[in-house]
């Protein structure tokens, strides 16, 4: 029967395509990771990671960039966390009015889909010019805080939803008020999920380059983190921005690939940590 033959042919194809797809995917992603490691590992050294660069002494180092990355992660999370957790608590715990909740969720979803170049533009005007922060890591971190807000909100919401109703009912039954219930029962139970969300947000921050390029500057010199004014005025490149600078502006591909390798390891680390933190019950 022709139908049987056609069906067999169709099935052959249909069974082969998933395997083919997987092969292509794995091949491509293995190529990307492999190529980065192949060109980056030779340039990687303890000296590179702990020194700053010096033209006069002919050395290359990305320690300032690593510190800048830490700064940006810390500050953007510090800004996004209270707002994000607060928003999520409100959305899940306080029986919000339908329209307000819908508006907030729409806003969060839209914010998370906006191109980073738009954040870069608006952030550079809002934080660098209007608020007078000039090009600084602080301005960049605040812009990134807005960008990662949706991630924190969503992760916290998911985490809050997994807290059993019985916990809340038990606390209310014992006479605790709404906020006290949230503060002492619900939040502590969802800390792991929130932490996992933070790590995910940190991953987004680490991977972001466009925003920082236009709000935090390109300097690869060591910044002064020892004083408050130094912290506010510090301006420099994080690891991703440094990668861009080394590859495009300096054509120093050895260092660029070394930075890419560091970023690869960092991504793996953050992902594994987020998974481990989120999984343990």
Q: By CB under 8 A, which span of 32-40, 43-51, 70-78, 159-167 interacts with another protein?
A: 32-40
Q: Is 22 in the site for another protein (CB under 8 A)?
A: yes
Q: Using CA atoms, how far apart are residues 142 and 275, in angstroms rounded to an integer?
A: 26
Determine the interface stretch with another protein among 42-50, 78-86, 158-166, 188-196 (rule: CB under 8 A): 78-86
Q: How far is the CB of 192 from another protein (least distance, A)?
A: 18
82 lies in the binding site for another protein (CB under 8 A): yes
Q: Which is nearer to another protein, 70 or 264 (CB)?
A: 264
**Shortest reach from residue 218's CB to another protein, in Å:** 5
Q: Is 203 in the site for another protein (CB under 8 A)?
A: yes
Q: Looking only at residues 229 through 268 of this chain, which bind another protein when binding is defined by CB under 8 A?
A: 229-230, 233, 235-236, 240, 243-244, 247-251, 253, 256-257, 260, 263-264, 267-268
If binding is defined by CB under 8 A, does position 153 make contact with another protein?
yes
Check: CB of residue 248 under 8 Å from CB of residue 254: no
Q: Rounded to the nearest whole angstrom, what is the least distance from the CB of residue 43 to another protein in the complex?
A: 13
| 59: β partners | 54
What is the dihedral sign for C-alpha 67, 208, 77, 146?
A: positive
Nearer to another protein, 108 or 193 (CB): 108
């Amino acid at each position: 029967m022709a139908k049987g033959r056609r069906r067999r042919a169709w099935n052959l194809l249909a069974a082969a395509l998933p395997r083919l797809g997987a092969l292509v995917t794995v091949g491509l992603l293995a190529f990307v990771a492999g190529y980065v490691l192949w060109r980056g590992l030779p340039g990687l050294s303890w000296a590179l990671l702990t020194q700053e660069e010096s033209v006069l002494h002919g050395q290359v180092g990305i320690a300032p960039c690593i510190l800048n990355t830490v700064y940006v992660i810390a500050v953007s999370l510090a800004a996004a966390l209270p707002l994000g957790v607060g928003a999520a608590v409100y959305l899940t715990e306080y029986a919000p009015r339908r329209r307000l909740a819908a508006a907030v969720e729409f806003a969060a979803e839209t914010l998370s889909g906006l191109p980073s170049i738009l954040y870069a533009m608006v952030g550079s005007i809002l934080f660098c010019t209007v608020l007078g922060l000039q090009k600084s890591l602080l301005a960049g971190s605040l812009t990134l805080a807005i960008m990662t807000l949706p991630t924190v909100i969503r992760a916290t919401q998911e985490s809050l939803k997994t807290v059993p109703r019985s916990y809340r009912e038990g606390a209310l039954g014992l006479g605790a008020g709404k906020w006290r219930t949230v503060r002492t029962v619900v939040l502590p139970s969802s800390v792991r999920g929130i932490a996992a969300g933070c790590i995910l947000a940190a991953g987004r921050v680490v991977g972001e380059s466009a925003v920082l390029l236009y709000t935090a500057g390109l300097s690869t010199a060591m910044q002064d983190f020892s004083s408050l004014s130094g912290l506010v005025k510090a301006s420099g490149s994080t690891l991703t921005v440094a990668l861009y600078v080394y590859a495009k502006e300096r054509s120093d591909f050895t260092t660029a690939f070394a930075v890419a390798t560091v970023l690869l390891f960092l991504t793996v680390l953050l992902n594994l940590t987020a998974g481990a933190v989120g999984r343990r019950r």
